[in-house]
Amino acid sequence: MTCGISGLSFFKKLKSTISGVFSTGTKGSVRIGDTDLEDVLIGADFGVDLASKIARELRAEKDVVGALRMKLESILQPIIKDMEIDRSKKPFVIVLAGVNGSGKTTTVAKLACFFKAEGLSVDIAACDTFRAAATEQLSAWAIKLDCRIFKSETPKDPASVAFDALQSTKSDVLLIDTAGRLQNNTNLMSELAKIYRTIGKIDKSAPHMNILIIDATTGQNSIEQIKEFSKVHPISGIIISKMDGGSKGGVITRVAGEFELPILGIGTGENEHNFEKFSIEKFLKDLVE
Ligand SMILES: Nc1nc2c(ncn2[C@@H]2O[C@H](COP(=O)(O)OP(=O)(O)O)[C@@H](O)[C@H]2O)c(=O)[nH]1
Ligand SMILES: [Mg+2]
């Protein structure tokens, strides 16, 4: 598994914008009015609150780029985590939640591939029972990755698929795919809540990980997604998908700054190998290069 990072056009954009608004002082230090920096950060998807907070904090700095680099490092460092499971829990149950199209099903495949590469056995539960195509999509991954899949041939209660899977699996890891939830759809959110309740009845400690998948191109709405999904079940970590898609990527800093939720990895493409640990070094290097 590579640990590089791709798709960080965010910093390239930031840099080109910065070079447009920064001026070089007499001693070679870089100066910027806080309003300008705030605009730059807002444009890079940091969100208004975090952007103005950072701009305020860096107002007095001579080397704004250097200070920004350190600031981002201090924000990101504590929340970048390895994708690790507690091997004493068998099966280790992971639920993947998120809005429709965020990349849940693809991330199930990526995590299956990741854990199998670590020598763990992986089963998958197809709990997006609302669309036949969703189960087909996951079944194709299960064949490709040689994983056992639990699914229902007819549309049925997703919680019952999760129940069957957890009762029958003999694997080290059980990955539970869920349906795309519009977080403001209370019916669908209560179906999701039922999945958590059901698996919790079989194993009080499950799910052992509840991962929210966020599309990197999501702006302010990512905050809403975190808030709403947290109400259904506490989020243990976030995977940011589609980092290869020319996203500005500021969403990562925003998630870090506002929620301090672990970033467990990033998606950098559509195939099962495109899962990487977020590399702060690379992120910051792109900033100052
Ligand atoms: N480029 C790119 N596409 C992705 C990534 N993750 C998912 N996708 C694509 O995004 C679309 C929606 O993904 P899917 O996993 O079906 O989303 P779900 O509705 O949350 O299950 C699919 O076309 C995926 O191939 C990623 O990291 N990079
Ligand atoms: Mg899906």
Interval 144-157: pLDDT, tens:
999 999 998 776 78
Ligand 2 centroid to Cα of residue 225, in Å, is 16
Better-predicted residue by pLDDT, 23 or 170: 170
Q: How far is CA 108 from CA 5, 56, 117, 246, 258, in A?
A: 20, 40, 14, 22, 26
pLDDT for 242: 92
DSSP 8-state secondary structure symbol assigned to residue 77: G
pLDDT for 41: 78
Report the percentage of the chain scoring pLDDT > 70: 80
Query: Measured between alpha carbons, how far is 249 from 218 in angstroms, rounded to an integer?
Result: 9
155-211 pLDDT, tens digit per residue, is 678 999 999 999 999 999 999 999 976 656 667 788 899 999 999 999 999 999 999
Q: What is the mean pLDDT of the chain?
A: 83
The whole-number average pLDDT for the span 68-83 is 89
pLDDT for 279: 84
**Cβ 213 vs Cβ 239: under 8 Å:** yes
Query: DSSP strand E in 69-223: where?
Result: 92-97, 122-127, 148-150, 173-178, 209-215
Indicate if ligand 1 lies below 6 Å from the C-beta of 265: no
pLDDT for 220: 74
- Residue 245 pLDDT > 80: no
Query: Measured between alpha carbons, how far is 228 from 93 in angstroms, rounded to an integer?
Result: 22
* CA 3-9-10 angle, 5° bins: 100
Tokens of 174: 């059980």
84-115 pLDDT, tens digit per residue, is 999 999 999 999 999 999 999 999 999 999 99
pLDDT for 148: 98
User: Cis peptide leading into 207, omega within 30 of 0?
Assistant: yes
Ligand 2 centroid to Cα of residue 237, in Å, is 18
Sheet holding 237-241, edge to edge: 148-150, 122-127, 173-178, 92-97, 209-215, 237-241, 263-267, 275-276
Would you mind telling me the total number of residues written for the chain in this entry?
289
Q: Which residues contact 141 (CB under 8 A, 6 or more apart)?
A: 105, 108, 109, 112, 124, 147, 272
Q: Indicate the pTM of the whole model.
A: 0.85
**Cβ 254 vs Cβ 50: under 8 Å:** yes
Return the best residue to mutate from 9, 136, 217, 270 for the ligand 1 pocket (most ligand atoms within 8 A of CB): 270
28-49 pLDDT, tens digit per residue, is 334 454 457 788 777 767 778 8
Which of 13-22, 110-119, 126-135 has the lowest average pLDDT?
13-22
Report the percentage of the chain scoring pLDDT > 90: 51
The whole-number average pLDDT for the span 246-269 is 81
Q: How far is CA 6 from CA 50, 71, 98, 127, 268, in A?
A: 24, 22, 23, 31, 7
pLDDT for 17: 56
- Which residue, among 180, 242, 238, has the nearest Cα to 209 in the 3D structure? 238
For 186-249, the DSSP string reads HHHHHHHHHHHHHHHHH-TT--SEEEEEEETT--THHHHHHHHHHHHS---EEEEE-TTS----
- Residue 286 pLDDT > 90: no
Residues with CB under 5 Å of ion ligand 2 are: 104-105, 134
Better-predicted residue by pLDDT, 273 or 27: 273
Ligand 2 centroid to Cα of residue 3, in Å, is 25
